[in-house]
Amino acid sequence: TGPKPLLGRKVIVTSGPTHEPIDPVRYIANRSSGKQGHAIAAALAKLGADVMLISGPVTIADPAGVTVLRVESARDMLAAVEAQLPADIAVMVAAVADWRVAASADQKIKKQPGEAPAPLALTENPDILKTVGHHAQRPRLVVGFAAETENVETNGRAKLERKGADMIVANDVSPENGVMGGDRNRVNIISADGIDVWPDLAKDDVAERLAALIAARFAG
């Protein structure tokens, strides 16, 4: 039912947080629920796309009509994304951890009586969007997100350039907006054409509008 402008098109979507191990039982993570990324994957599938959803650890259900690949860490996510290339479109919604523990322990780190806690040295994770945006097998349309708490437009524009994306969906994730984990989102669409400010919408409605915009941009 409905038009299928993306029929036969392969689309990679990343969603959710990543978990970066400290030791076998502990990890560093963030508050991403995966709701927006999963909704976008479902909306693209409704337009006929062949969607590979590469998801970090989430508690929400797999969306209908998409293939779900589950990963834990940023490095796992990058490997899963690269394994799916070539693709027509990539939409990177995951809240990828910027840093991981430099040397995660093979065994549970034990508390030593009387000793100060060991410091956690961090190292930078690969940037998946940036890698895909500059890839030899770059998808024709690359879309990123930008979770910002200030200067949403300026930061979004800089990100478009730096990451080699065609479109950045910038949202203000200040805690008072309740975006992280919530059901609503207010986004700004930033591209070479300029900025388009969307009203406050349910994440499912953001997903449908974005899927339609992606289909139009891909066709055009």
* Cβ–Cβ < 8 Å for 66, 42: yes
Distance in angstroms between the alpha carbons of the first and the last residue of the chain: 23
The answer to whether residue 191 forms part of the interface with ligand C5P (CB under 6 A) is: no
Does 159 carry a binding-site annotation? yes
Report in angstroms how near the CB of residue 145 gets to ligand C5P at its nearest.
Answer: 4
The answer to whether residue 204 forms part of the interface with ligand C5P (CB under 6 A) is: no
The answer to whether residue 96 forms part of the interface with ligand C5P (CB under 6 A) is: yes
Interface characters, 35-74, with ligand C5P (x: CB under 6 A): ---------------------------------------x
Stretch that binds ligand C5P, among 1-9, 55-63, 89-97, 110-118 (CB under 6 A): 89-97
Report in angstroms how near the CB of residue 128 gets to ligand C5P at its nearest.
Answer: 3
Whether residue 30 lies in the annotated active site: yes
The answer to whether residue 28 forms part of the interface with ligand C5P (CB under 6 A) is: no
Question: Which residue among the candidates 30, 125, 155, 188 is catalytic per the annotation?
Answer: 30
Tell me the number of residues near ligand C5P by CB under 6 A: 15
Q: Give the one residue of 53, 58, 87, 127 binding ligand C5P; rule: CB under 6 A.
A: 127
* Cβ–Cβ < 8 Å for 171, 179: yes
| Distance, CA of 159 to CA of 161 (rounded, Å) | 5
The answer to whether residue 210 forms part of the interface with ligand C5P (CB under 6 A) is: no
The answer to whether residue 160 forms part of the interface with ligand C5P (CB under 6 A) is: no
Does 110 carry a binding-site annotation? no
What does the DSSP assignment read for the chain? ----TTTT-EEEEEESB--EEEETTEEE-----SHHHHHHHHHHHHTT-EEEEEE-S-SSPPPTTSEEEE--SHHHHHHHHHHH-S-SEEEE--B--SEEETT--SSPPPP-TTSPPPP--EEEPP-HHHHHHT-TT--SEEEEEEEESS-HHHHHHHHHHHHT-SEEEEEE--GGG--TTSSEE-EEEEETTEEEEPPPEEHHHHHHHHHHHHHHHHH-
Q: Which residues are catalytic?
A: 30
Which stretches of the chain bind ligand C5P, using CB under 6 A?
14, 74, 92-94, 96, 125, 127-129, 144-147, 159
Residues placed in the known binding site for CTP: 98, 108, 126-129, 145, 159, 163
Residues placed in the known binding site: 98, 108, 126-129, 145, 159, 163
